[in-house]
C-alpha cells in the first residue's frame, strides 16, 4: 500500500486462456506495427517498455493483513503474472525486482535510509529505460473500514499517465470490480517513485489486505491471474493509442 466475485475455477481458467490467445493474435501485430511506425517515423524512437514494479520487498513488507500476509509477496506474484502475459503478447518488459528483496543499499545504517535508497534505485531503473511505461503493483489497507474492497489505480503527472491508469481501471472494473466499480485518481505528491519517474505511470492497488474476504482472493492463483489479465489488458489498450474511456 501507499495508502484505498467470484466464478468457478473452470470459467476463470477459460477466461484467462481466451485472454492470452486473443492478446497473442491481436497484440503481437499491434505492438509490432506501432514499433515499426515509431522507428520509421523518426528513425530513433524505441518501442515502449513496461517497467513492472512490485512494491516493497525484503525488510519492507508494506501493508500486512491481520493474519500476517504482507503485500510485498503478493505484489511480486501478481507482477510476475503481468510480465508473463505481456511477454506472450510480444511486449518488452523489465522488472524493478524479481525476488523478495530490497534493491537499495544494504550497508546504510537505518531502515529509513535503506528504504529511501530502494526507492531511488527504482526511479533510476524507470528513468534509465528508454520509452518506459511504469506499472507499479501494490496492495491497499484501511483497517478502519474492513468492508472496503476493490482494485484502484492512481496516475502520475506525466503525459499519458492518466490515460494509462484509466484504461487499467476500466479493465479492472469490467472484471475484478464488477458491482464495486472504482475511479482512477491522481496519486498524492508524496509517493516518491510516482513523483520522480519521468515516464507515464500507473500505481495499481490490487485490493485491501484489511478486508478478510479480499485477502483470501488476493492469495488465490485464479484471482491473481484475473488481476494480471486486467492490468495487462489496460496496458495494451494504452499502447494501441486508445484514449481515456
Ligand atoms: Zn504498497
Question: Per-domain residue ranges for the chain?
Answer: 9-239
- Per-residue pLDDT 10s for the chain (245 aa) are 653 334 444 444 444 444 544 444 344 445 444 544 444 455 667 899 999 999 999 999 999 999 999 999 999 999 999 999 999 999 999 999 999 999 999 999 999 999 999 999 999 999 999 999 999 999 999 999 999 999 999 999 999 999 999 999 999 999 999 999 999 999 999 999 999 999 999 999 999 999 999 999 999 999 999 999 999 999 999 999 999 99
Q: Which parts of the chain fold into alpha helices (H)?
A: 9-42, 71-88, 111-127, 161-174, 192-196, 212-218, 221-239
Q: Kindly tell me the burial class for residue 99, based on how many C-beta atoms sit within 10 Å of its own C-beta (0-12, 13-18, 19 or more).
A: exposed
Give residue 62 CA to ligand 1 midpoint distance, Å: 5
Give residue 16 CA to ligand 1 midpoint distance, Å: 26
Give residue 14 CA to ligand 1 midpoint distance, Å: 30
Answer yes or no: are the C-beta atoms of 78 and 227 closer than 8 Å: yes
Give residue 55 CA to ligand 1 midpoint distance, Å: 5
This prediction's pTM: 0.85
Q: Which CATH number fits domain 9-239: 3.60.15.10, 3.40.250.10, 3.40.630.30, 3.40.630.40?
A: 3.40.630.40
Give residue 54 CA to ligand 1 midpoint distance, Å: 9
User: Around ion ligand 1, which residues have CB less than 5 A away?
Assistant: 1, 55, 62, 138
Contact partners, residue 210, CB within 8 Å, separation at least 6: 63, 65, 66, 140, 141, 142, 143, 145, 146, 148
Amino acid at each position: 500500500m501507499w495508502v484505498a466475485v467470484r466464478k468457478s475455477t473452470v470459467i476463470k481458467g477459460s477466461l484467462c486462456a481466451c485472454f492470452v490467445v486473443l492478446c497473442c493474435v491481436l497484440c503481437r501485430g499491434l505492438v509490432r506495427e506501432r514499433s515499426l511506425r515509431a522507428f520509421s517515423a523518426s528513425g530513433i524512437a524505441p518501442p515502449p517498455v513496461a517497467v513492472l514494479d512490485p512494491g516493497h520487498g525484503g525488510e519492507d513488507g508494506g501493508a500486512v493483513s491481520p493474519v500476517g500476509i504482507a503485500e510485498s509477496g503478493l505484489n511480486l506474484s501478481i507482477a510476475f503474472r503481468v510480465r508473463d502475459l505481456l511477454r506472450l503478447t510480444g511486449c518488452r518488459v523489465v522488472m524493478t525486482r524479481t525476488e523478495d528483496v530490497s534493491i537499495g543499499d544494504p550497508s546504510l545504517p537505518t531502515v529509513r535510509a535503506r528504504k529511501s535508497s530502494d526507492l531511488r534505485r527504482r526511479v533510476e531503473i524507470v528513468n534509465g529505460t528508454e520509452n518506459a511505461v511504469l506499472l507499479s503493483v501494490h496492495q491497499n489497507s484501511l483497517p478502519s473500514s474492513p468492508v472496503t474492497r476493490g482494485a484502484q489505480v492512481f496516475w502520475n503527472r506525466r503525459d499519458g499517465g492518466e490515460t494509462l491508469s484509466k484504461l487499467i481501471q476500466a479493465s479492472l472494473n469490467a472484471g475484478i470490480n464488477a458491482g464495486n466499480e472504482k475511479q482512477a485518481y491522481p496519486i498524492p505528491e508524496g509517493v516518491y517513485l510516482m513523483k520522480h519517474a519521468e515516464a507515464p505511470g500507473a500505481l495499481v492497488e490490487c485490493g485491501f489486505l484489511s478486508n478478510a474476504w479480499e485477502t483470501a482472493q488476493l492469495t488465490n492463483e485464479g484471482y491473481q491471474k484475473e488481476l494480471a489479465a486486467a492490468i495487462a489488458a489496460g496496458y495494451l489498450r494504452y499502447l494501441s493509442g486508445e484514449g481515456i474511456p
